[in-house]
Structure formats: structure tokens, C-alpha cells
Amino acid sequence: MAARCNFWLPKKKRFCANVPLGDSQFCGNHTQRSDGQWIPCPIHPSHSVLEENLQSHLKRCPFFKQAQSLSLQPFYQEGINAGKEEEEEGVQNFSSEMKRNAVRAMTLFEFSQLINKIKSVHASICNDIRDSFKIPQACDIWTNRQVDRCSIIVLFCMCYVHIMFPLVNSHLIFQSRFVFSCRGLPFQQKHVMQQASILGNLEEFGVLKSCEDNVVSGSVKSDTSVDKDDVPAVVEFGAGRGYLTQVLADCYRIKKILLVERKSYKLKADRSLRQKENVTLERLRIDIEDLKLNAVESLQGVPYLATGKHLCGPATDMTLRCCISKQCNQHNDASSESTCHLIGLAIATCCHHLCQWKHYINHGSDLCGTGWSSDLQIREKEHVESDLNTYDEVKDMVKNMKAVDRAIIGFMCKDIIDFGRFRWLKEHEFESQLVKYVPSNISPENRLLVARQKC
């Protein structure tokens, strides 16, 4: 029997079945890599390559053609929504480790002052973030699990037909699997509650209009008498598999869908959405940072609603820049005008620890200037060059804090970041709200920005 790789696969409870390389005990997938020889691919950092093979790899990298094709699209403009570098000269993206080192470089007095300032700012500006858990009647087909039951019945019928008439209808088993994938099954109550509450807040805020008369048994009646402005297009940012838009399409009348996502996903809702009557769907595989929304042909002259569920870190700030026409137009010619019209948005924020000052949408006057970033860089440099033992006081102080106290401070920081985004929307003539759209036991990331154009 041929030799096998000696790498143990714990999930499969067996050794790898591949053939080892040369005199090694492991195959190519499991041979230990030297950190000094492997570098991230500059085209797409999701994979690594040997440094000496970099030039040849760039020519055959599977992401090369994709990046090349994307760069030719009219809606692609590198870094258009990233934030202006000239606003903060010398500002760089700080890793989590750099941020931790900068905090550890503080004295106990400085760290205590920082905590007190966070509490003071939060008490003065973030004390009115209200609970707004809204489940609209239009979403009953999802919240009452009618979609789940319907899909199970369809699956049973397909399987029965397949057993009784295997040669005639063998392809139906594939279709039954698709029913589960496109509906997001097995049913996950917490995600449906979040999606429904996002839509409920939009409805309460006057952005979405209830169409109860047109919702029958989970389907929306076509109504050719409805004006175009009454049926907005929907742009979902960071769409993932598109299940937020799936719920929206099932429960409200929409005619045009644009899904924006930089990654590739399986089990997407796209096929189900394409099968809806009078609904057109377009998916753009692009980073929000590089999306010039005004140049998307299908949105020309169309009012649209922007949504996003759990937009991680700076993706929220990039989405706001992408959508607000005044901000977008500053990158274009002075004579250019926005051809697509934002009527409202709902963004559930997430992963605030990934936020960067360069991308942040609201550079307040107290923090503006190079002093903030320079101070962080200096502290990081001091921490690296000095004896680490001298910086353990703050680290020990944080460790000795109760977990609930650390969590409270963390949530305060998140609220302050989101409140800055809320204020930015108001300054750009949008009626806006910052609410807790679901209880924390459903999701601790429960802050929702809702906004609409002022009448």
C-alpha cells in the first residue's frame, strides 16, 4: 500500500489520504510552511505564495482576471469610498495589536482618564438610544414560519414523486434541495427576527409602505397601477447570501434588487429572487470601498433604499459615503449630478473593533488633525522599543476588571462610534434615528441606523 500523509484530520478521525512529498511525512497541503518564505498574494490576500514564485503566480492567480475585469467596469473606482487621505496626513491602518500596545503604553492615570472620558461622552450624547424591536405584520409569513412549513411540504411532495416515478422526475430532488437553500433553511429564528425588525423600523419610519392588501399566502400580487416611485429599488450592501433582501422581497413590493458583496457564497437567495414575478436582480461582486454607485447603469434615475445587516467595521462608513450623493459627487466632476436617488437606509452596524480613523465618516473637531494619529504611532513605537514589563500595569488593571465592566465600556465605545455616524447623517440633511432594533439576547450587535431624506 502506498504511503499516506501523516497529518491527522480530527473531524474525519483519520489521517490525510494524500501521498506525501518526497522524503517528507506530509503532503503538499500539510507540509509545515516557513513564515519567512510565504507572503500574502498582493492581488488577493486570502491565499499565500512562496516569495520566489511571486512573479509567476501573479500571471496565473485565479483572482487576476477577476480584478482585471472589475477594473474595466464603469462603476469601479478604487478607494472612492475609503475616505480622503489628505484629511489626515500620515494616518495608517492600525492593527488590533498596535491598538492594544498603544493602550498598554499609557500610565494608570492616563488610562483612568480615558475611561472617565468615555463614560462622560457616552452619558452626554448616547443616553437616548431607545429600544425599537418592531415586527411588522407584513413579515408574518416569515415570523410565523409559514415559509418553513411550505418548504417542508414541497420537499415531501417532491421526494414522494421521486420515489414513485424515479425516471420521470429524478431532477426534482435537486430542486427540493434548492428550496431549502434559497429559503435559508433550516429555519433560524434569531436571523428572521433581526431581518423583520430592520424592515419594521423602516416601515415605522415611513421609508417602507405596508402592502397588506397585496400580500396573499406569502406572495405579492402584481399591481401594474403602482407608480415607480412607490416601489423603490433596493441595494443591499454586504449582502452575503442575500437573505435580508429575500425577506424584503417576500413581504413588500419591490421591482429592482442590487446585491453588493465582495465575496463568493454558496446557498444564495439569488435564484429564488430571480423567480419572483416582475423583479429584476443584479449582483455586483465588488468591495464597497471601490463602488461608484452613481455609475451603475441599472440604477440610473431610480429611487432606491439602501440596507445592510451587520456591516463589519468600516463597511458602514464606506456605505454611507457610497450612498450620500453630496459625498459621492465630491470625487466626480463639479458639473456631475447624482443620477440615482437615495430615499432611505437601514444599516445594522457590527465589528466596531475593525474601524479605522481613515475610513470613519465623522472626523469631529476635537479629534481632527494629525495629533491623534501621531500620538497613537508614538505610543506604539515606544511600546515596541522599550521593556514590555514597564507597560504591564494597564494590562493587569484591565485583567482585574470584572468581565461585565469591561463589556460595558466596550458597548459605550460602540455607541459613541455609531452616534458619530448618526450625527453625520443629520448634518447631511437626513432625518435619522439610532435604535436598538433587537434585544441583546437575540444579538448583542443590536444597533440600527435608520434614515430618510427630509421632506
Beta bridge partners of 342: 304
Q: Is residue 111 part of a domain?
A: no
Query: How much is the pLDDT for 227?
Result: 46
- 251 shares a domain with 399: yes
Alpha carbons 351 and 373: distance in angstroms, whole number? 21
Alpha carbons 19 and 30: distance in angstroms, whole number? 11
Query: How much is the pLDDT for 327?
Result: 43
Q: Is residue 158 part of a domain?
A: no
Burial class (CB in 10 A: 0-12, 13-18, 19+), 359: buried
Query: How much is the pLDDT for 43?
Result: 84
Q: Is residue 79 part of a domain?
A: no
Among 19, 40, 69, which residue terminates a domain?
69
Q: Is residue 75 part of a domain?
A: no
Among 69, 87, 110, which residue terminates a domain?
69
The pTM of this model reads 0.77
Query: How much is the pLDDT for 59?
Result: 85
- DSSP secondary structure of 214-264: GEETTEE---TTS-GGGS-EEEEET-TT-HHHHHHHHHS--SEEEEE-SS-
Domain that holds residue 280: 205-453
CATH number at residue 435: 3.40.50
Domain count, the chain: 2
- How far is the CA of 216 from the CAs of 142, 146, 279, 331, in angstroms? 13, 12, 17, 45
Q: Is residue 133 part of a domain?
A: no
Among 69, 87, 104, which residue terminates a domain?
69
Stated length of the chain = 455
Q: Is residue 134 part of a domain?
A: no
Per-residue pLDDT tens for 78-121? Answer: 999 998 754 455 556 777 788 888 888 888 898 999 999 999 99
Q: Is residue 414 part of a domain?
A: yes
Q: Is residue 44 part of a domain?
A: yes
Query: How much is the pLDDT for 347?
Result: 97
